[in-house]
Amino acid sequence: MQVGVNYTPSTGWFHSWLDPDPDAIRRDLEAIAGLGLDHIRIFPLWPLLQPNRTLIRERAIDDVVAVCRLADEFDLQVSVDAINGHLSSFDFLPSWVVTWHRANLFTDAQVVAGEAALVSALAARLREEPNVDGITLGNELPQFAASTPGHSHPTPSPCTPEQADAWFDALMGAASQAWPDGGCFSGFDDDLWFADEQPFTPRHAVTRGAATTVHSWVFGQVGPRFGERHPALTLFPRYLLELARAWSPDPDRPLWLQEIGAPRTCVSDEDAPAFLAGTLDAVRDTPGLEAVTWWCSHDVSPDLADFPSLEYSLGLFTHDGVPKPEALQLAEMIPDLHAQVSTSPAAGALEFSADRTTGAGRSVCSPAGELFAAWVDEALATGRPPALRLA
C-alpha cells in the first residue's frame, strides 16, 4: 500500500502558486518525506494555468514541473490535479467562465474544449517526469453540478448523467491521447454516493479512470449523527470503500482513498492520533486498496482569513512546520502499512437496492440511513467490516 499526503504549502497555501518559493517547498517536502510518506498530490490553480480559454501559460506549467522535480529529490511520487476548481470552500474559476462570461463547466462546448486543452497540455509535460503517476481531473469538481436541496452550489453547472459521460470522454480522452501510459482519475465529494439528485453517479466513479477514488469526511453526516469518539467515525472510510466495491462491475478495480482527514469539528486535538490510527486500521486490509492520501500536509496559516475553522487544523504539520502528534502516529504506522497487502473479501454482505445505471435510490446508502447503522453494528459485533452488495 502507498501512503502519502495532499500537499498544502506551508507558505501562502495554494496562493503560493502565484510565486512559488523553491526553498520553502523543499523544506515542506523534506519534512513530508521524513515521516516515511511516499507520494503527494498537488493542486495548481486553474486561473493561473489558463487565464484565457486559448491561453495556457507555459510559465505556470513550468512551475508545476518544478514542484514535481523538487518532490523527486526526496523520492516522492506525485499526482497532479488539473482543474482546480474548488479547494477548501473556495472556488478558483477563470474569468472566462464566471459573471459576464458565465458558462456551464460540463456542457458548454467551448468550455469543455478549453478544459480538455489544459488537461492535454499538462499531460504532455508531465509524461516526461518519471516520478509523476498521473492526473486527477480536478478536486471535487462535480460539486458544481449538485442540485441537492440545501447543498447545491451557489452558481451551479447542471448536467445530466449522459452529459457527464460526454465530459469524461472529452477530458479523459485528451489525457489519454497526450499521455497513453499515465493514470487519469477523478475526485468526488460523497454526494456522488448518497445524493439521488447528483448527476455524477457511482457508475462514473467505478468505471471512469484508472481507479475509483474516495473522499472520506465525517463532518458532513457521520459526526453529527454519532458524536465524537463513536467507532462509526473511524469506520466510515471503510464503508465508502466497500460501497465503491459494491457499485463496481470489476471486482479487481483498484481503490484510492484520495482524501481522509481529522476535522476538529468532530475530532479533538487530543483524539486526532487515535482517530488516524483507527481509520487506517479499519481500511488497511480493504480488498483492492492501493493508496491512502491524508488530508493534508500543513495547517492553513492563521494569517489567512475566511476559511472554515476546521481548515486551520487539518495538517500533519503546523503552518510553521512542526509535526503534530498525528504525524508522529502516522510515521510509526507507515512500515506496516507499506507491507500491507489486500485480503480476500469478507464472507457475506449487506445488500441494498439502487439503479446501477442512473444512481437512482442511492440515498439508501447515506450515513443518515439504516444501511450504514446496520453495517456499523455488524462491524463492531464481528470485528470485521462487512462487504456490501448492490442487488
Give the C-alpha separation, 72 to 126, whole Å.
Answer: 13
Q: Does the pLDDT of residue 346 top 80, yes or no? A: no
Give the C-alpha separation, 112 to 327, whole Å.
Answer: 40
* pLDDT for the residue 270: 97
pLDDT band at 347 (very low <50, low <70, confident <90, very high): low
* pLDDT for the residue 341: 79
Residue 106 · residue 114 · CB < 8 Å: no
Q: What is the mean pLDDT of residues 317-344?
A: 93
Q: For all residues of the chain together, what is the average pLDDT?
A: 96
pLDDT band at 348 (very low <50, low <70, confident <90, very high): confident
Which residues have a Cβ under 8 Å from the Cβ of 307 and sit 6 or more positions away? 88, 89, 90, 300
For the beta carbon of residue 383, count every other beta carbon within 10 angstroms.
7
Question: What domains lie within the chain, and their CATH numbers?
Answer: 2-345 (3.20.20.80)
For 199, what's the count of Cα atoms within 13 Å in the CB-facing half-sphere? Answer: 22
* pLDDT for the residue 340: 83
Q: What is the mean pLDDT of residues 322-327?
A: 98
Q: Which three cell numbers stand for residue 62?
A: 513550468
Q: What is the mean pLDDT of residues 260-268?
A: 96
Residue 186's Cβ-count burial label (10 Å; 0-12, 13-18, 19+) is buried
Q: What is the pLDDT of residues 119-163, one digit of tens each?
A: 999 999 999 999 999 999 999 999 999 877 777 888 899 999 999
Q: Does the pLDDT of residue 345 top 80, yes or no? A: no
* pLDDT for the residue 275: 98
Q: Does the pLDDT of residue 296 top 90, yes or no? A: yes
Residue 130's Cβ-count burial label (10 Å; 0-12, 13-18, 19+) is exposed
Q: What is the mean pLDDT of residues 289-303?
A: 97
Q: What is the mean pLDDT of residues 373-386?
A: 96
Q: What is the mean pLDDT of residues 294-317?
A: 96
Residue 94 · residue 51 · CB < 8 Å: yes
Q: What is the dihedral of CA 296, 271, 37, 345, to 10 degrees?
A: -100
